[in-house]
Structure 1
Amino acid sequence: MLSAPRHDPAAVAAALGVTDALFLGGGTFGDTWRVGDQAIKVICVDGYPPERVAREVNGLSRVNSQYVVRLHKADKIVLEGSVRPALYFEYVEGGDIQDRIERAQRPTPAETEALLAGMLTAVRDLHAADGTIHRDIKPANIALRNGNWEAPVLLDLGLAKSATETTLTLYPGAVGTPPYMSPEQLKGKRARKASDLFSVGVTVRHAYAGVHPFYDPTLDYTYDEAVERVKAGPLPLPGELPENIQNVLDLLVSEAQFERGSATSNLRRMGIEA
């Protein structure tokens, strides 16, 4: 996340036709601003493929879930002389998991179980919508509605892809955010539904334990080294999680895709009929 906006807030507010816009954060391709009860993502880089904007819009239009952010509309604005895509989302009050990790605020075992159930439900609903795969699940892309661990909301479908869409990615090539990418993504292979599940497992384990399950943050890893760390297995989970919840979290971060199951099968392992 970028700590400063790419454009002057007054210029952004004028482009959006409002008197004030609050900078929420920035990513690789765009900045997100709060205007009233909406979060507006403005693509700021030149040459951003319009197909990616269409993909995010299509991905969100296919799913209806309380655990996936709602898209209000897609538009274009003129910002400091350039036409920029702008996506208008619901604003999810409460911050995101990345912020909680940075503040060393960890969920209780009960909250962790509810967080895991919510994230698996989000992924189940997403995967059921024309086989859509998120491909970039990570703490910064999970908001907590009203600050509640029990109410995660999946954000940012900019890298999402449905089973019926032609890929915009040339393989081999890594897609995603390395610390949360599955081993198959690290190897430059296509992301599958199981890849999203791996990212869910890593994200929940990181939130609960307060440390990444595979990587030392003070070290840099090549993709090959990262894969070897995954092969070696995750750090043990602390505290007292129910056995079935710990089992699900262990399966989700398996190196082998087939061992991760599906979102639905893991919800059933948690005792939730999906």
Structure 2
Amino acid sequence: MEGTPWFAPFVYAGFVLVVLFALFGIFLVIHRRWRRLRQVAQDASAQRATEAFTTAASQPHSPALLTVTRREFGAATLSTGRFTLLEELGRGGMGVVWRARDSVLGRQVAIKQLLPLSGGSPDVQETMRARMLREARAAAQLAHRNAVTVHDVLLDQGSVLIVMELVKAVTLNKTVECEGPLPPARVAAIGLDMLDVLAEAHGLGIIHRDVKPANVLVQKDRSIKLADFGIARFEGDPTLTEAGAIIGTPAYMAPEQIRGLDSSPATDLWGLGVTLFYAVEGLSAFGRPSPTAAMAAVLTDPPLSPQRARSPLGPLLMSLLTKDPSDRPTAAQLRSELSQLTRSI
């Protein structure tokens, strides 16, 4: 155009470039802020999952049980005086276990009080109680020599109580702590007993979902009983679990559990594998300093390599700890392998 300076197009192009760079800079700032907010949300979600494991036992629960002191044992009663509390046997994220006396049948029993997640609305708490009652009653259907027998399921002052046989035994984790890593042949025998009771439960449609050394009770004759079927659920039933809640112990949970996917018999076989790994090696295959780190290891890291488990036990354990449930051996395959191990090792 006549009268327009020769450098005008360059000035215009420079102005456009400045505008574009400014817009790009604004985009980068917004993108970085969005990524930061997303990371904060993910960290908060991971923290909530961790707190479900690390703080549940410290939350306030039913005063009928938790206000009892040692001096009061023998005086506190439950269910209209039928059960007299004698001592606390242990507690964890899902409940408190007591030794108690059944005045009606004249015998001592173990009573587990299931603890719903705290802080929920009355409707959520009622939903949790309904779920716990249903699952405890499902566990009561299981009758097997290697399972802790459930005598009764009660609702007492808002708490779900599972009345079980009192087993005089030591947990597998305490056994390993006292005796050290167990011989491969003994571990294979323990695996066979666990597999038998799990197969029986799976035949009823019940998935344990929390197979770990603390739930394996070792008796004086070295036979075992698998405990804590009270948090199992029927396979395929709709779960009433509060959204986002995770049930289990991080280092012994299967990858599909951590991802919130459906549990299956293969989930319990993962728990069996990681439990036997601990028994023969003396340490967890995915043990980490924190629950979050343990969950991350289960999802992304290979298990530790067996050092004490000789072939073929070592490779068998590794096959049980495959991330994909469909790649794990079946119960029938596992029974055949373990049976041979008990004879050949």
Taking structure 1 as the reference length, the TM-score comes to: 0.82
Greater fraction of residues in helix: 2
Q: Structure 1 215/29 Cα, relative in aligned 2: closer, same or farther at 3 Å?
A: closer
- Name the count of aligned residue pairs: 259
Q: Structure 1 240/142 Cα, relative in aligned 2: closer, same or farther at 3 Å?
A: closer
Q: Mapping of 1:178-197 within 5 angstroms?
A: 178-197=250-269
Separation in 2, partners of 1:32, 1:103: 22
1:57 maps to 137
1:134 maps to 208
Separation in 2, partners of 1:85, 1:137: 21
1:239 pairs with 2:308: yes
Q: Mapping of 1:1-274 within 5 angstroms?
A: 6-9=66-69, 10=72, 13-16=75-78, 17=81, 21-35=86-100, 36-45=107-116, 47=125, 48-61=128-141, 63-77=142-156, 82-103=157-178, 105-129=180-204, 131-146=205-220, 148=222, 151-169=223-241, 174-217=246-289, 221=293, 223-229=295-301, 233-239=302-308, 241=310, 243-271=311-339
The CA deviation at 1:160 is 0.9
RMSD (Å) for aligned C-alpha atoms? 2.8
Percentage of identical aligned residues: 26
Larger-gyration structure (1/2)? 2
Deviations 1:180-210 (A, max 9, x none): 0111112221222111111110011012111
The CA deviation at 1:44 is 4.9
Separation in 1, partners of 2:192, 2:76: 41
Q: What residue identity is the alignment partner of 1:25?
A: G
**Partner secondary structure for residue 270 of structure 1:** helix
Q: Structure 1 74/170 Cα, relative in aligned 2: closer, same or farther at 3 Å?
A: closer
Separation in 1, partners of 2:186, 2:297: 32
Unaligned runs of 5+ in 2: 1-53, 59-64, 101-106, 119-124, 341-345
Q: Structure 1 208/121 Cα, relative in aligned 2: closer, same or farther at 3 Å?
A: same
Q: Structure 1 171/101 Cα, relative in aligned 2: closer, same or farther at 3 Å?
A: farther
Separation in 1, partners of 2:262, 2:167: 30
Deviations 1:2-36 (A, max 9, x none): 69x83315367532335551210112242111125
Taking structure 2 as the reference length, the TM-score comes to: 0.67
Unaligned runs of 5+ in 1: none
Q: What residue identity is the alignment partner of 1:221?
A: A
